[in-house]
Structure 1
Amino acid sequence: MSSGIRRLGPSDVPACLALATDRGWPAEEARWRLLLEVGEGYGWVAPGGALVGAVVLTRFGTRAGVVGLMLVRADHGGRGIGRALMEHLLDAAREVESVFLYATDAGRPLYEKLGFAATHEVATHLGVFEPSGPAGAPPRTELLAPADARLLYGPDAAALGLDRGRLLRRLPKFAQEVRVLREPDGRVTGYAAAWDNAGRTAVGPVVAPDPATLCALVDETARHAGRPVRLECPVGEDATVRAWAVRHGLRETGRCTFMVRGRPLPAGRRALPYAPFMQSLG
């Protein structure tokens, strides 16, 4: 078999997991299946058929798309495979107005060469969560029934300015739980999801009307985790959420850089407090 780029599908998940393990990433089957279901996976195949590189594009209509799970097998590094995959993805996404990603320090130089510009940092917080006493939940919260995923569309679009309906429809099946914040008039104005992240509980995405309510939603979602909790926090002028996370046992363990290529993302993206789903999906 000749080498080159091809589309990835569900049958490629085992090869993707082997690729992730080779680079020291956890083998998260559910995560790969989610991204290959809602996004477009592209893989670099070496002579003989082995998968030695992968990347995924998830579109939110034509307004934006996010790049995730970009990796190349260790023994094939330095051969231009990562750049070739990214160029192929960007060509496939040429009608998308904004393409964004979360860059490590190692990956950032390549992304800058491809036209991505840094906008802000995102901090990863990890630790054993310490609840805010016996009643940390904000009022008016309830668990989301899987059939009610549409209730998430409004608050999510208000926070990001994007249509992520296709992803949100899949969220209740992927997550361990999704909790929504309901106003007295019945409107849902915020939500938080918790999902398994290689033996930890990742909390995200989270959307709320204000930082204090976002913290309360995280508290309610994380307090019964019984294992380490992970939370991604955008770094900006308001450090309320990050300071709260540290006070409750979630120390900062690293940062990545949020980068955008093309038009700036909608202003709504930073209009409401927001914690990302995962770095592969924004």
Structure 2
Amino acid sequence: MSSFNTTEPILEKFDKNDISRLIDLSNSVGWDYDENEVTTVMSSGRIYGHKNEEGLIVSSAAIIDYSSKLASIGMVIVREDYRGMGLGRKATEKCLESVPINTPVMLIATEEGKPMYEKMGFTSIDSVHKFLCDNYEQSITSSTNNYNIEPLSEEDLYGLINLDTEAFGVNRETFLMNRINQSKDSLVVKSPDGAVIGYGLSVKGPVNLILGPIVATDSQTALLIIDELAKNHIGKLRIDVPSGNEIFMSKLEKYGFIKVSQPPIMIKNSNELPLRNNTLYGIAAQIFG
């Protein structure tokens, strides 16, 4: 902590007028939040943090509450000059206080943040696998067993939300509507009778095209969704894959994706995540769980 920071900054809830300063905070630690991503976070949940006397945002933490069954914390950032003051913990505690007591709260931790979360009562229960691809080349050409992959339409939303609820374990309709609005492409997989049996979104960030959520009946269908989302993109791709999808991850590596990290999933007020049906192949982003 620098010697000139003698007054503790003020903790507050941020609004849309703070978006540019939150992006500046993100940039200060090398993270790549942009206006669209921060807007989706705000529209889906709440962001708290500290401002100094000059109005500079020096910390943040966000919480997305899906229901009394689960909330997700992310965007926990402290500007380097203000570390050591407990600001990250205080902002995170404010997030926890904003949801009903005993609500299970999950987060996907950085190595730097993990000790703080452990002191706050979070425990590691699983992990996600972060994959990057520098330049995707279309290479998946197998059939989808007569399934059709097509752009999402309004009439598909009910089926998509139901699929996501079963895959993720809780209903997150508000977030999904915001994420769809943010997405570059939104696709659904349909059976021959027109039923929605899978879906995938892509979101263009400052650095990567983010692939997720990806929900599918099997790994090959998940790969075909990825292929459809990525095939015309020139640039870097990212997908974060839940554990338990080892066959899928091995196939990703064959198609040019490289695993770069495996951050832990941590949880408080529960010993496990809500029951899922093993159809979630890619998460939306670490902040959203």
Q: Which category of TM-score, normalised to the shorter sequence, fits these structures?
A: over 0.9
Q: Does the 8 Å CA contact 2:240/2:285 hold for their aligned counterparts? A: yes
Trace 1:255-274 onto structure 2 (pairs within 5 A): 255-263=262-270, 264-268=272-276, 271-274=278-281
Tell me how far 1:89 sits from its aligned partner: 1.3
Q: Which moved more, 1:226-235 or 1:12-21?
A: 226-235
Please tell me the root mean square deviation across aligned C-alpha atoms, in Å.
Answer: 1.9
Which of the residues 205, 227, 231 maps onto 2:235?
Answer: 227
Tell me how far 1:158 sits from its aligned partner: 1.1
Which of the residues 32, 35, 50 maps onto 2:41?
Answer: 35
Tell me how far 1:106 sits from its aligned partner: 0.8
- Opposite residue 125 of structure 2, the aligned amino acid is T
- Taking a change above 3 Å as real, the CA distance of residues 42 and 267 of structure 1, as seen in their structure-2 partners, is same
| 1:52 has 2:58 as partner | yes
Identity %: 25
Q: Does the 8 Å CA contact 1:136/1:220 hold for their aligned counterparts? A: no
| 1:62 has 2:68 as partner | yes
For 2:44 and 2:17, locate their aligned partners in 1 and report how far apart those are by CA, in whole Å: 15
Cα deviations by residue, 1:205-259 (Å, 9 ceiling, x for unpaired): 00011222112211221122121111111233x4111111110011112221111
Trace 1:1-282 onto structure 2 (pairs within 5 A): 3-95=9-101, 97-127=103-133, 128-133=135-140, 135=141, 138=144, 139-145=147-153, 148-236=156-244, 238-263=245-270, 264-268=272-276, 271-282=278-289
Tell me how far 1:98 sits from its aligned partner: 1.0
Q: Does the 8 Å CA contact 2:213/2:280 hold for their aligned counterparts? A: no
Secondary structure, counterpart of 1:280 in structure 2: helix
Q: Does the 8 Å CA contact 1:124/1:232 hold for their aligned counterparts? A: yes
Secondary structure, counterpart of 1:267 in structure 2: coil
Q: Does the 8 Å CA contact 1:44/1:81 hold for their aligned counterparts? A: yes
Tell me how far 1:137 sits from its aligned partner: 6.5
Q: Does the 8 Å CA contact 1:146/1:172 hold for their aligned counterparts? A: no
- Opposite residue 145 of structure 1, the aligned amino acid is S
Tell me how far 1:27 sits from its aligned partner: 4.6
Cα deviations by residue, 1:54-111 (Å, 9 ceiling, x for unpaired): 1111110211110011101110011111111111211222436210011011111111
Q: Does the 8 Å CA contact 1:146/1:173 hold for their aligned counterparts? A: no
For 2:203 and 2:104, locate their aligned partners in 1 and report how far apart those are by CA, in whole Å: 27
For 1:175 and 1:137, locate their aligned partners in 2 and report how far apart those are by CA, in whole Å: 26
Tell me how far 1:198 sits from its aligned partner: 1.4
- Opposite residue 150 of structure 1, the aligned amino acid is Y
Q: Which moved more, 1:151-160 or 1:20-29?
A: 20-29
- Opposite residue 22 of structure 2, the aligned amino acid is C
Secondary structure, counterpart of 1:112 in structure 2: helix
Secondary structure, counterpart of 1:53 in structure 2: strand
Cα deviations by residue, 1:37-62 (Å, 9 ceiling, x for unpaired): 11111011223332110111111021
For 2:81 and 2:225, locate their aligned partners in 1 and report how far apart those are by CA, in whole Å: 43
Tell me how far 1:3 sits from its aligned partner: 3.2
- Opposite residue 48 of structure 2, the aligned amino acid is Y
Secondary structure, counterpart of 1:260 in structure 2: strand
For 1:20 and 1:56, locate their aligned partners in 2 and report how far apart those are by CA, in whole Å: 13
Q: Does the 8 Å CA contact 1:152/1:168 hold for their aligned counterparts? A: no
Q: How many residues align?
A: 279
Cα deviations by residue, 1:110-131 (Å, 9 ceiling, x for unpaired): 1111111111121111112232
TM-score (norm 2): 0.91
